[in-house]
Structure 1
Amino acid sequence: MDVIELLEAADLLVPESVATENDLTVNDVWDHLVHDEWEAALTLLEELRGGPPLPPAFWESLAGAATQLRLERSRAWCYWRLSESRHGVIRADLTLRPATESRRTTPVPGAGVLQAMWNIGHRSPAGEMSVSIAWLWVEDRPALEPGGRALVRLAPLTPSHWRHLRPGHRITMHEDRTVAGTATIVETGPPYAGL
């Protein structure tokens, strides 16, 4: 990864001519790069939220930069966002049950390594609960303690099973037959339109 590749990724940002004081621009990224602040430049680009989904190539470039900088969590985050650019975004407000009330006694790892079962309202042909699988990313923290609450992102194993969800829907997380946590959907978003 070199300066040119990071700036090519940054080229998808708001043009200077129409940027407001709250918009991230190429010049913001360039300011960090000229001072050899590669990690800061990468972090600025990683934190892009809101607006239309960015193309997969953007996230692939950032993942490559994070790999070269040996920033494992950044690399994982960029690959997570790459998946969202291909399949859409699902964010939820999750509350885990306390350790005294559930099987889980250790924190849920935050960087997208837990693959949990979710009751998202589907039923089996016999009318029983049918769960769907999704990886879980805890936003802005390394882990979520039992009994804790945080915003999370979900990456479904089968995205089409989740298309009916909208903000306000309540879903439950399972690691066995019991409920491990309850979540309220706060955002759903489409994949990148150019796919």
Structure 2
Amino acid sequence: MDVIELLESAALLTPEATATPDDLTAHDIWDLLTHDDWETALNLLEDHADAPPPPLAFWERLATAAQELRLEAGTAWCHWRAAETRNGMIRADLTLGARGAPIPGRGTLRPLWDIGNRSPTGAPAVDIAGLWVEHTPTLAPGERATVRLVPLTPARWTHVRPGQRITLHEGRPALATALVTEVHLRTA
């Protein structure tokens, strides 16, 4: 399948029936594709695909198209959104504490999180979630940003709620604190 076929198939997943005059539709994407503006079509699909959330196939097709267009950031974002579709997502405001270097923002870090779970002995247990920093490629020590988390084991995160504080660990003490603002988990 070539790039234009991938983008066309993804565009078909854009809901036309509920579109307002200001909404992005499959017709808009097809218009860009007929003018060979593939990168703009891909970017628009990435940015406007949230209500209702598209199926996993949408993000997988966009990731393949971005990869074929050699768009590293777009490929990473579409793979990330596919992971969110599979496992769910938690959004939080994170403040990074003292650390020797900035943390990468494009979903490559899979840190440990204290979200209130306990081990069989009653000690704090940590859980893994991927980390995406919104609107910046890195987050330096002392900086604050909105982050997206994709839990490795969503069932262990079902008790997490907006307003809850969670901590990021790379050892002791905690490296960062985050205030949960949004929770959308897939546990089935």
TM-score by length of 2: 0.91
Equivalent residue letter for 1:64: T
Name the structure 2 match of 1:79. 79
RMSD, aligned CA: 1.9
- Please show how residues 81-160 of structure 1 align to structure 2 within 5 Å: 81-97=81-97, 102=98, 104-160=99-155
Equivalent residue letter for 2:69: L
Identity %: 53
The superposition leaves residues 90-135 of structure 1 with CA deviations (integer Å, 9 ceiling, x where unpaired) of 11111111xxxx3x12111011111111000011222221111111
Q: Where has structure 1 moved over 4 Å in runs of 4 or more?
A: none
Runs of at least 5 residues in structure 2 that lack an aligned partner in the other structure: none
Measure, in 2, the Cα distance between the counterparts of 1:42 and 1:191: 26
- Contact 2:3 2:69 (C-alpha < 8 Å) held by counterparts: no
Indicate whether 1:8 and 2:17 are aligned. Answer: no
Measure, in 2, the Cα distance between the counterparts of 1:75 and 1:144: 20
State the number of aligned residues. Answer: 187
Equivalent residue letter for 1:83: A
The 1:190–1:49 alpha-carbon spacing in structure 2 relative to 1, beyond 3 Å, is: farther
Q: CA deviation at 1:142?
A: 0.6
The superposition leaves residues 139-191 of structure 1 with CA deviations (integer Å, 9 ceiling, x where unpaired) of 11111111111111112221211121121111011111111111111111144
Equivalent residue letter for 1:110: G
- Please show how residues 3-42 of structure 1 align to structure 2 within 5 Å: 3-15=4-16, 18-42=18-42
Equivalent residue letter for 1:27: H
The 1:18–1:126 alpha-carbon spacing in structure 2 relative to 1, beyond 3 Å, is: closer
The 1:23–1:107 alpha-carbon spacing in structure 2 relative to 1, beyond 3 Å, is: same
Secondary structure at the counterpart of residue 110 of structure 2: strand
Measure, in 1, the Cα distance between the counterparts of 2:18 and 2:59: 24
